[in-house]
């Protein structure tokens, strides 16, 4: 069954979540492509974790060769379409463009990449045959997020049989379920995965690999296991009232409106945390109809983890920020049993030893009226799963790998993405998956030659 038949999108969602960066039309794309200087030592390519050959794909756009341009992108990054929408280009390729040196606007690399990739999918998303011989060795990828998808695609292109195991019905990890809809639609993520499936990658949906017994079975059936499980549940606030059903963590909130068909939101929403996921949730709450959306953050504005452009976008949409503010309790109305308010206190975060400690400012507590609370204070590691991976070393809940190969302390296991780096960009996960695939292919070829 096609993933796109399972999830067809939602017209109301499309209306409420118009894209933040509309696509370029043909004329604008040509004009922008012709502005590129096609730098020999392209800093934009060096700044891309997957090292897409940016001047080459832009040159092809300027020549009207959109298909060739897309193939150049896909050669480095099989998720080039979703990355064109979700990459923080300001701090990656566009941030490195030489035009900055002349105080000029950088080339719109993200939009040009999207232009080429949209044309590719519109025209059938046909990848050329690689001619790689079918190889006997089989690889299992656990998790169906960007790292596993990139690993699986690269190995399949090299002729290896690959099966991706995922606990959910739809693959894609955060790309499908956890990125704000105005950046990347679930249908766009799924069409990209259909392309990977068309290479011959096998998918096992709704299959949880969580314990030692399941991993032991994979170890017997597969030559190599790639761990691309991402991170676990979102951290909880640890305050009274948190068990109320209208306290919904940010990833669950995004997933339920994006792929779960539940567009319900409070009128007065409080998001706790100031990372990019917190901003995604706050902006989604605005678009779903909340009248007031507040973000609480215990540190100062300059300490927030969200990118500046995400912060600016949220402010433009009316989200209000409260710095040095810590929630201490969620209060319920005795009359209607819904959430009535969140009690907060001002805090000072001060250095303490190697770290920091938080001090409450005396007599600073106040209440904010709200009927929905969205905690967005990061994800916990998948400790239970990592304990089940016998022989795979992890530290502070993250898998330890050789950075050049992605290999773990157990020679049969490789890993990449958020479960290794603690939660970075989609493009970092793709780079990890591809790097591991190249090392896996090499190790399997050596093993085959020695037989
Ligand atoms: Fe083009 Fe800018 Fe990259 Fe140079 S740095 S190749 S001008 S996009």
What is the Å distance from ligand 1's center to 32 Cα?
A: 11
Q: Return the ligand 1 atom nearest residue 98 CA.
A: 5
Asked whether 52 lines ligand 1 (CB < 6 A), one says no
Helix-helix angle 426-449:146-157, to 10 degrees: 40
Q: Between 249 and 356, name the one with better pLDDT.
A: 249
What is the pTM for the complete model shown?
Answer: 0.91
pLDDT band per the 50, 70, 90 thresholds, residue 5: low
Q: What is the pLDDT of residues 178-199, one digit of tens each?
A: 998 889 999 999 999 999 999 9
Sign of CA dihedral 71, 440, 156, 191: negative
CA distance 121 to 115: 10
Does position 447 have pLDDT exceeding 90, yes or no?
Answer: no
- The pLDDT score that the predictor gives to residue 8 is 60
C-beta atoms surrounding 316 within 10 Å: 9
| Residue located via tokens 């049989």 | 161
Ligand 1: centre distance to CA 436 (Å): 28
List the one residue out of 42, 29, 199 whose CA is nearest residue 115.
29
**What local confidence, expressed as pLDDT, does residue 249 receive?**
97
Q: What is the mean pLDDT of residues 207-224?
A: 93
Q: What percent of the chain has pLDDT over 70?
A: 98
User: And the tokens for 394?
Assistant: 């992890």
Q: What is the pLDDT of residues 291-305, one digit of tens each?
A: 999 999 999 999 999
Write the pLDDT tens digit of every residue in 373-431: 999 999 998 999 999 999 999 999 999 999 999 999 999 999 999 999 999 999 999 99
Whole-number Å distance, alpha carbon 174 to ligand 1 midpoint, is 30
Q: Taking residues 23-44, what's their average pLDDT?
A: 97
Q: Give the distance (Å) from ligand 1 centre to CA of residue 98.
A: 6
Ligand 1 centroid vs 308 CA: distance in angstroms?
23
Category of 85 on φ-ψ map: left (φ > 0), alpha (ψ -120 to 50) or beta: alpha
Q: What percent of the chain has pLDDT over 90?
A: 82
Instruction: Find out whether the beta carbon of 270 lies less than 6 Å from any atom of ligand 1.
Output: no
Strand partners, 225: 140, 413
Is the beta carbon of 109 within 6 A of some atom in ligand 1?
Answer: yes
Atom of ligand 1 nearest to the CA of 55: 6
How many CB atoms are closer than 10 A to CB 346? 18
Compute the distance from residue 55 Cα to the ligand 1 centre, in Å: 6
Q: H/E/C letters for each residue in 231-269? A: CCCECCCCCCCCCCCCECCHHHHHHHHHCCCCCCCCCEE
3 pLDDT band, cuts 50/70/90, is low
Report the residue count for the chain: 451
Q: Is the C-beta atom of 39 inside 6 A of ligand 1?
A: yes
Residue 224 backbone dihedrals phi, psi, to 5 degrees: -135, 145
Angstrom CA distances, 53 to 151, 293, 306, stand at 20, 41, 28
Q: Between 78 and 335, name the one with better pLDDT.
A: 78
Which domains does the chain show, CATH number per domain? 15-122 (1.10.1060.10), 138-232+380-450 (3.50.50.60), 250-375 (3.50.50.60)
Backbone angle region of 313, left / alpha / beta, with phi > 0 → left and psi within -120 to 50 → alpha: alpha
| pLDDT tops 70 at residue 356 | yes
Best CA proximity match to 94, nearest among 115, 113, 75? 113
What average pLDDT does this structure show over 312-338? 94
The predicted structure's pLDDT at residue 280: 95
Q: At how many degrees (to 10) do helices 26-35 and 54-62 cross?
A: 130
Q: What's the pLDDT score for residue 448?
A: 72
| Any ligand 1 atom below 6 A from CB of 68 | no
């Amino acid at each position: 069954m096609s993933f796109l038949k399972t999830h067809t999108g939602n017209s109301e969602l499309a209306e409420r979540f118009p894209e933040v960066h509309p696509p370029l039309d043909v004329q604008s794309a040509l004009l922008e492509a012709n502005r590129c200087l096609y730098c020999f030592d392209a800093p934009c390519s060096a700044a891309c974790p997957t090292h897409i050959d940016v001047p080459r794909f832009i040159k092809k756009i300027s020549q009207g060769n959109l298909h060739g341009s897309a193939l150049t992108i896909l050669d480095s990054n099989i998720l080039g379409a979703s990355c064109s929408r979700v990459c923080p280009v300001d701090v990656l390729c566009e941030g490195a463009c030489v035009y900055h040196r002349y105080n000029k606007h950088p080339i719109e690399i993200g939009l040009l990449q999207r232009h080429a990739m949209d044309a590719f999918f519109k025209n059938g998303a046909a990848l050329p045959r690689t001619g790689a011989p079918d190889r006997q060795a089989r690889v299992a990828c656990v998790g169906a997020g960007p790292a596993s998808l990139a690993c699986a695609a690269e190995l399949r292109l090299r002729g290896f049989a690959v099966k991706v195991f995922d606990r959910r019905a739809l693959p894609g990890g955060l790309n499908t379920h956890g990125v704000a809809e105005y950046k990347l639609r679930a249908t766009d993520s799924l069409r990209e995965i259909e392309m990977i499936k068309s290479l011959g990658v096998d998918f096992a949906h709704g299959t949880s690999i969580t314990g030692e017994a399941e991993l032991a079975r994979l170890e017997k059936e597969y030559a190599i296991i790639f761990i691309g499980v991402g991170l676990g549940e979102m951290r909880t606030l640890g305050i009274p009232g948190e068990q109320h059903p209208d306290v919904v963590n940010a990833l669950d909130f995004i997933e339920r409106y994006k792929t779960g068909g539940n567009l319900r939101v409070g009128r007065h929403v409080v998001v706790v945390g100031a990372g990019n996921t917190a901003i995604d949730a706050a902006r989604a709450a605005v678009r779903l109809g909340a009248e007031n959306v507040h973000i609480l953050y215990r540190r100062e504005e300059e300490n927030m983890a969200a990118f500046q452009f995400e912060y600016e976008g949220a402010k433009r949409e009316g989200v209000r920020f409260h710095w040095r503010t810590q929630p201490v309790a969620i209060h319920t109305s005795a009359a209607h049993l819904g959430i009535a308010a969140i009690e907060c206190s001002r805090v000072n975060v001060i250095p303490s030893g190697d770290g920091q400690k938080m001090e409450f400012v005396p007599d600073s507590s106040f209440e904010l009226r709200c009927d929905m609370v969205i905690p967005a204070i990061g994800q916990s590691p998948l400790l239970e799963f990592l304990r089940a991976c016998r022989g795979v070393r992890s530290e502070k809940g993250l898998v330890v790998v050789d950075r050049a190969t992605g290999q773990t302390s157990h020679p049969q296991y490789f890993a990449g993405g958020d479960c290794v780096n603690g939660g970075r960009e989609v493009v970092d996960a793709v780079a990890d998956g591809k790097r591991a695939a190249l090392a896996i292919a090499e190790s399997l070829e050596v093993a085959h030659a020695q037989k």
